[in-house]
Structure 1
């Protein structure tokens, strides 16, 4: 991930708030264990069921982070040089930023979903297409809604094609992910019993999968 956004532009985008800080944001983080150099990092303090990212802001600060997206105003007030963007929901703010980032690029975007084989197909295609094109792809098995958002930050001016892996937990979520990715092409690797327990019927499960493939140029399925 290599970004280049001015902090004041992000403040306006995410919170409709003006800032005179024009520092360049080059990456984002939400897990302090993965921060090695905080310079240029924008830290999103997620509130989860078991952990609250706001509890780790001081840890991020001690690692050099000076820019934060938070839900609690004033949490960085005692930290010299720290800046905060206050939003209603930090996860949704990151997703909004991912959607903004996606909209900047016009290269083909291939959405890959299925009960099994998503990561394998993505990696195979990366090897094959990488012989001719500059490929942006989902890291590892990032296919949750958050994972998809993070994957979109792999897009850059050099990207000639993007391979985005997509999982699913509900019909509504797939619609939201489709709007986030705006895929131009799609691949359904398989359809089986994996994650079947999340849906009332087999038909509902299949329909949720197919929801990803509306409004695209081509669709490949077994």
Structure 2
């Protein structure tokens, strides 16, 4: 972060200076008492299960320069160098981020979609970093707090900013895009995610299209194979760059070849200076769905008017973010780690990825509940179970209440009952899995974020690496 004067922070947040001097300098902000650094200003957020005001003594002991609060507290007793009182600390965080963003003339790429946001963000950052200074939102910082903190990390050395924007309620992305002011907006796809709050796929699509509300004179990058995106995209007044596999688009992938454990190879056709050019791309990751992410990344490069050669060079050494169909060798088995989150579309893609792997061992699925699907939850879990059986999965383990019907439907669709294991939690699943594992088995592990499916992988590493 570049330095920000206290009077600027007061102006941005409409706050009142309680302690300190208005001409002092702020070197950084934090909302996390666990990771705050000396010299930073702590913003005391209030959530459903926490109140940052309770951690003020702790952060000051760790060297925090000051605090931004919304409650009346005896701040002089804590002796901070700076204290600012605001009406609402969460709103103040967004107001600070919005003010700070406008201090920079920088091209901002904002990414949303039901699946692939983080992978595409990481791909784009990897490709651009070959020649440019890029700031990308860390991990999956795609909500209001995460985006605001990312913006507050901007420095004048940065030439591009790449962020992702998530939502589970209408209006959330509109709020994010007004803060970030993107120059390019990308929608990867529309799927059955967060239906509990967004209703149906049209509701999802409308929520995702809010990303373009903050773009005044920029580019919309759209998946030409997605009917919801193409339908709503007709109304956009922005310049468009499209990508796809099945339909005519500005960037099209063809001759897609699986390289087994080594990834995927495909031919990319793109129009450059009115001529169609073909570029060979090798993508060292699993899953045909990642071809779409690579195409979207190429569309971003095209929209930025950069050399398309950056794409194959950058993607040649790309590694997937943790928990997103990465392949891990644990002892004498292989695990596809897709534990970060789950919805019906991403689960289907993950199972297809498992079944396409050319391995000698059995194909095993460990599936946890897919959450936030509303009234359609049971139907989607039933369809998943049927798909598991029809695609030829050898063993199915389920974790949680909702996914019990997946086990039932898998059995109805032909998976032998002795090959289906229903568990309440991750530990029970692990104890039932270990005795039946064989050398060469490949296991897909996937579930919604709150299911904590990554703990199964951690336990497998502890148990199998010791045994091997």
Q: Is the pair's TM-score, using the shorter chain for normalization, greater than 0.5?
A: yes
The unaligned stretches of length 5 or more in structure 1 are none
User: Within 2, Cα distance between the matches of 1:47 and 1:75?
Assistant: 18
- SS of the counterpart of 2:154? coil
Query: What's the counterpart of residue 91 of structure 2?
Result: 92
Q: How does 1:128-143 map to 2 (within 5 A)?
A: 128-143=127-142
- CA distance in 2 between counterparts of 1:190 and 1:212 reads 13
Is residue 111 from structure 1 mapped to residue 116 from structure 2 by the alignment?
Answer: no
Per-residue CA deviations over 1:65-120 (Å, capped at 9, x if unaligned) read 23110011333121234431111100110110000011111211111011111111
Q: Distance in 2 between matches of 1:185 and 1:111?
A: 6
Instruction: Report the 3-state secondary structure (helix = DSSP H, G, I; strand = E; otherwise coil) of the residue aligned with 1:213.
Output: helix
Structure 2 SS opposite 1:120: helix
Structure number with greater CO (CA < 8 Å, separation at least 6) is 1
- Separation in 1, partners of 2:218, 2:11: 34
Other-structure match for 2:72: 73
TM-score by length of 2: 0.45
Q: Using the alignment, how far apart are the partners of 1:120 and 1:43 within structure 2?
A: 30
Deviations 1:39-82 (A, max 9, x none): 2x111011111111111000011111231100113331212344
Contact residue 21 and residue 82 of structure 2 kept, 8 A: no
Q: 1:145 to 1:80 in 2, by over 3 A?
A: closer
Aligned to 1:174: 173
Aligned equivalents of 1:81, 1:210: Cα separation in 2: 43
Pick the structure with greater CA Rg: 2
| 1:51 corresponds to | 50
Structure with a larger share of its residues in strand: 2
Question: What is the CA–CA distance in structure 2 between the aligned matches of 1:63 and 1:16, rounded to whole Å?
Answer: 24
Question: Is it true that 1:31 corresponds to 2:32 in the alignment?
Answer: yes
CA contact (8 A) 2:60 2:80 kept: no
Aligned-pair CA distance for 1:3: 3.1
1:221 corresponds to 2:222: yes
Give the C-alpha shift of residue 149 in structure 1: 1.0
Cα pair 2:191 2:204 within 8 Å, conserved: no
Distance (whole Å) between structure 1 residues aligned to residue 80 and residue 200 of structure 2: 54
- Cα distance per residue 1:162-197 (max 9 Å; x no partner): 111110122211211111111111111121112222
CA RMSD across the alignment? 1.7
Q: How many residues align?
A: 219
* SS of residue paired to 1:96: helix
Kept after mapping to 2: 8 A contact 1:76/1:82: no
Task: Return the alpha-carbon distance in structure 1 between the equivalents of residues 32 and 176 of structure 2.
Answer: 23
When structure 1 is superposed on structure 2, of 17-26 and 158-167 the one drifting more is 17-26
Measured in 2, the distance between the counterparts of 1:8 and 1:141 equals: 32
Normalised to the residue count of structure 1, the TM-score between the two structures is 0.91
Where 1:99 maps in the other structure, the secondary structure is helix
Match of 1:196 in 2: 195
- Residue 15 of structure 2 is aligned to residue 8 of structure 1: no
State whether structure 2 residue 161 is matched by structure 1 residue 162: yes
Unmatched tracts of structure 2, length 5 or more: 224-468
